[in-house]
């Protein structure tokens, strides 16, 4: 099966879905491109419904959705053969071994028995459960079960993998490891990932792009770098004293600058600015704590979109 070459993995246009009187998705339009995409929103924002629609499990009431170039509602089995999915909730039979579960699900996704057996071991090693793979899933910790869910989602070598809240119930160390694994899946194994989470900070750390949902609506979507304006073109200089002298000096040199207490925000018009700042600091004898390009966090984007209700 040839891998889809298109840069667009999921394309949704004016997608609408209701559950009874509850609007789960309303006029949602966005594209998911290659790489790792975070699907962010508070609980009940429509993330899981959206993943269900990507899998072709729910029929859109309005609008269209295309996954790997096909309509998942019409071509469900064909699309799902190329997609891996790890749900938010526990979804593993407790009385089977991790290896049996992963092998069986790989077979269900179309792999012949022998390939499924080999790959079950491979992916369980990949997620760090190589030694435990013949233990029953019921004896596993929450962290280990999350890893088995990830393993079964990638065992059939999908083109796209959907991870619904994969860090739920994990302690900080396990979360770190899970995020590392997800980054590895997306960047080293080249499987496109859609990662849903209500935790901004974790999405920010592993994703290339985000789709932000609130109350079933897409409030922002796009590359992370563009959304948070990585190239806002400003340099923040942290000093150990008032920055007014530095500001005056820089303005005299024709560089935009403004003091915010002990911080000075400098317009970054070119690499030469760094030299000017350095020389100015040296001449004025000011102590420099640190210097960094100004990056707005995803949280700023979120706040700007007025969604950070929780």
Give residues in contact with other proteins (CB under 8 A).
Answer: 1, 19, 24, 48-49, 51-52, 55, 57-58, 76-78, 80-81, 83, 85, 87, 89-96, 100-101, 104-105, 107-112, 115, 119, 121-126, 130, 152, 154, 156-157, 188-189
- Say if residues 65 and 11 touch (Cβ distance below 8 Å): yes
> Judged by CB, which is closer to other proteins: 206, or 237?
206
Phi, psi of 285 (to 5 degrees): 70, 30
User: For residues 209 and 169, what is the distance between their CA atoms, to the nearest angstrom?
Assistant: 24
> Judged by CB, which is closer to other proteins: 189, or 256?
189
From the CB of residue 254, how many other CB atoms can be counted at a distance below 10 Å?
9
- DSSP assignment, residue 114? H
> Judged by CB, which is closer to other proteins: 162, or 210?
162
Q: Min. distance of Cβ 119 from other proteins in angstroms?
A: 6
> Judged by CB, which is closer to other proteins: 79, or 209?
79
User: For residues 53 and 46, what is the distance between their CA atoms, to the nearest angstrom?
Assistant: 11
Q: Min. distance of Cβ 251 from other proteins in angstroms?
A: 52
Element (H, E) at 123: helix 113-126
Q: Min. distance of Cβ 256 from other proteins in angstroms?
A: 46
> Judged by CB, which is closer to other proteins: 110, or 222?
110
> Judged by CB, which is closer to other proteins: 153, or 265?
153
Q: Min. distance of Cβ 81 from other proteins in angstroms?
A: 4
Q: Min. distance of Cβ 213 from other proteins in angstroms?
A: 14
Residue with structure tokens 């789709």? 211
CA proximity to 55, closest of 43, 45, 70: 70
Question: 292: Cβ–Cβ under 8 A, 6 or more apart, which residues?
Answer: 235, 236, 238
Structural Rg of the chain based on CA atoms = 24
Q: Min. distance of Cβ 214 from other proteins in angstroms?
A: 18
* SS3 (DSSP) at 270: coil
* SS3 (DSSP) at 240: coil
């Amino acid at each position: 099966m040839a891998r889809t070459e298109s840069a667009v993995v999921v394309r949704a246009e004016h997608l609408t879905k209701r559950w009874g009187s509850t609007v789960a998705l309303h006029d949602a339009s966005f594209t998911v491109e290659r790489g790792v995409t975070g699907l962010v929103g508070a609980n009940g924002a429509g993330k899981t419904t959206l993943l269900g629609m990507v899998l072709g499990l729910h029929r859109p009431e309005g609008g269209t959705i295309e996954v790997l170039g096909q309509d998942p509602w019409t071509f469900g089995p064909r699309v799902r053969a190329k997609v891996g999915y790890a749900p938010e909730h526990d979804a593993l039979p407790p009385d089977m071994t991790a290896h049996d579960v992963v092998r069986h699900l790989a077979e269900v996704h179309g792999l012949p028995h022998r390939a499924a057996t080999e790959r079950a071991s491979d992916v369980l090693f990949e997620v760090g459960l190589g030694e435990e793979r013949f233990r029953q899933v019921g004896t596993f910790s929450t962290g280990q079960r999350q890893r088995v869910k990830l393993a079964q989602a990638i065992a059939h070598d999908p083109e796209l993998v959907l991870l619904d809240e994969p860090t739920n119930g994990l302690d900080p160390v396990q979360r770190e490891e899970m995020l590392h694994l997800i980054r590895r899946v997306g960047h080293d194994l080249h499987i496109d990932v859609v990662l849903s989470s209500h935790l901004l900070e974790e999405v920010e750390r592993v994703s290339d792009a985000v789709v932000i949902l609130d109350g079933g609506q897409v409030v922002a979507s796009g590359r992370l770098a563009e959304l948070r304006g990585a190239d806002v073109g400003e340099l923040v200089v942290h000093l150990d004293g008032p920055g007014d002298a530095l500001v005056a000096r820089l303005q005299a040199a024709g560089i935009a600058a403004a003091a915010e207490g002990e911080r000075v925000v400098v317009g970054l018009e070119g690499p030469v600015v760094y030299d000017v700042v350095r020389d100015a600091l040296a001449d004025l004898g000011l102590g420099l704590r640190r210097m960094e390009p100004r990056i707005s966090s995803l949280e700023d984007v979120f706040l700007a979109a007025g969604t950070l209700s929780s």
